[in-house]
């Protein structure tokens, strides 16, 4: 019997392969039901099954149909696995005969669609894996959450950065004389400017939340707006004042020594208020969601 696809005379088998491309609210199904030779069976199986495997899932109906189709394609393929190849009759083909390929014209479309869909999915997954990504790809994390804080994962990211900045800014100073202390502190200015940037993002977000009264039904949200927000702002301000002083003061005298003392005291006090604010937030159970 001749293969219904390529026309080769030889052993064929009746098979049915399906393909599904999910497009959220729509889906495109393709089906081939024919007597095919060994080579064409393999070609249809690979093309339809791989397409379905990568593009089949994206849609509500598609999500359920895809495993069914994959299972059916594999079992059809296994059923035909002992079918012999056409053999010598292949050489009897008409002059100029060219075997056709399965849907070659749509191959680029499938590829582009597949890459786009998977990029969106992996991007969305990465966006919410704030902690994991911070350990493995901090630069990507920074890019994903670089804009304004618009949702929880942006907020989580900014909070994580603030925590790191505080640890870096508050690390012990080893030097005992001013020039060494000053050098050590000036090595931390990047953390100070990041702290300022994250704080400004938080304050802008909080201004929006206050104007929309988002804390009205959520005690944790309200506590963040009333306590954490203002104390973070105070802390960022006092850190900036302290570092501005350190930057401009190359020699420590009796007079500016007193200013340094006052600035450090108010910085320490602001840090303490911020820590207390975090502590009462977590005692209210607000740090878990």
State the minimum distance, in angstroms, from the CB of residue 111 to Zn ion: 25
How many of the chain's residues bind Zn ion (CB under 5 A)? 6
How far apart, in whole angstroms, are the C-alpha atoms of residue 2 and residue 93? 11
When asked if residue 41 is in the footprint of Zn ion (CB under 5 A), the reply is no
Q: Where are the alpha helices (DSSP H) in the chain?
A: 38-55, 60-79, 107-128, 130-136, 138-144, 152-170, 178-186, 189-211, 219-223, 229-248, 254-283
Residue 204: C-alpha distances to residues 157, 221, 222, 235 (Å): 15, 15, 15, 16
Which residues are 22's β-sheet partners? 27
State the minimum distance, in angstroms, from the CB of residue 76 to Zn ion: 15
How far apart, in whole angstroms, are the C-alpha atoms of residue 74 and residue 53? 12
Q: Report the residue from 11, 15, 19, 37 that binds Zn ion according to the rule CB under 5 A.
A: 37
Q: Report the residue from 5, 44, 48, 57 that binds Zn ion according to the rule CB under 5 A.
A: 5
Which span sits near Zn ion by CB under 5 A: 33-41, 57-65, 120-128, 232-240?
Answer: 33-41
Residue 24: C-alpha distances to residues 61, 86, 94, 204 (Å): 9, 41, 45, 35
Q: Report the residue from 18, 20, 27, 40 that binds Zn ion according to the rule CB under 5 A.
A: 40
Task: Quote the DSSP letter at residue 90.
Answer: G
When asked if residue 6 is in the footprint of Zn ion (CB under 5 A), the reply is yes
Residue indicated by tokens 């109906």: 61
- Closer residue to Zn ion, CB minimum distance, 3 or 65: 3
∠ CA 177-183-186, nearest 5°, is 130
- Closer residue to Zn ion, CB minimum distance, 5 or 45: 5
Binding pattern to Zn ion, positions 240-269, x when CB under 5 A? Answer: ------------------------------
Site for Zn ion, residues 207 to 236, rule: CB under 5 A: none
- Closer residue to Zn ion, CB minimum distance, 5 or 157: 5
Q: 35 with 4: CB under 8 angstroms? A: yes
Which span sits near Zn ion by CB under 5 A: 36-44, 177-185, 206-214, 228-236?
Answer: 36-44
Which span sits near Zn ion by CB under 5 A: 7-15, 26-34, 148-156, 196-204?
Answer: 7-15
How far apart, in whole angstroms, are the C-alpha atoms of residue 17 and residue 249? 78
- Closer residue to Zn ion, CB minimum distance, 3 or 286: 3
State the minimum distance, in angstroms, from the CB of residue 99 to Zn ion: 8
Which span sits near Zn ion by CB under 5 A: 6-14, 51-59, 106-114, 214-222?
Answer: 6-14
State the minimum distance, in angstroms, from the CB of residue 50 to Zn ion: 19
When asked if residue 15 is in the footprint of Zn ion (CB under 5 A), the reply is no
Rounded to 5 degrees, what are φ and ψ at 13?
Answer: -140, 145
R_g of the chain computed on alpha carbons: 32
Binding positions for Zn ion, rule: CB under 5 A = 3, 5-6, 8, 37, 40
């Amino acid at each position: 019997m001749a293969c219904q696809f390529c026309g080769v005379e030889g052993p064929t088998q009746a098979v049915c392969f399906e393909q599904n491309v999910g497009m959220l609210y729509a889906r495109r199904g393709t089906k081939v039901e024919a007597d095919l030779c060994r080579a064409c069976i393999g070609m249809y199986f690979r093309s339809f099954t791989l397409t379905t495997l990568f593009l089949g899932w994206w849609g509500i109906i598609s999500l359920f149909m895809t495993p069914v189709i994959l299972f059916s394609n594999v079992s059809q393929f296994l059923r035909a696995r002992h079918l012999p190849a056409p053999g010598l009759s292949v050489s009897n083909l008409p002059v100029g005969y060219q075997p056709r390929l399965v849907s070659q014209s749509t191959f680029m479309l499938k590829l582009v669609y597949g890459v786009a869909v998977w990029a969106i999915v992996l991007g969305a997954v990465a966006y919410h894996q704030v902690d994991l990504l911070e350990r493995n790809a901090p630069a990507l994390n920074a890019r994903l959450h670089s804009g304004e804080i618009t949702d929880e994962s942006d907020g989580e990211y900014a909070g994580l950065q603030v925590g790191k900045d505080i640890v870096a800014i508050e690390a012990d100073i080893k030097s005992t004389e001013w020039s060494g202390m000053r050098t050590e502190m000036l090595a931390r200015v990047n953390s100070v400017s990041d702290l300022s940037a994250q704080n400004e993002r938080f304050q802008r977000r909080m201004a929006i939340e206050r104007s929309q009264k988002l804390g009205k039904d959520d005690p944790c949200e309200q506590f963040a707006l009333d306590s954490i927000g203002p104390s973070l702002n105070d802390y960022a301000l006092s850190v900036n004042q302290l570092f501005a002083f350190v930057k401009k003061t190359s020699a420590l005298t009796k007079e500016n020594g007193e200013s340094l003392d006052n600035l450090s005291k108010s910085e320490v006090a602001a840090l303490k208020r911020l820590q207390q604010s975090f502590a009462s937030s977590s005692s209210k159970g607000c740090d878990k969601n």
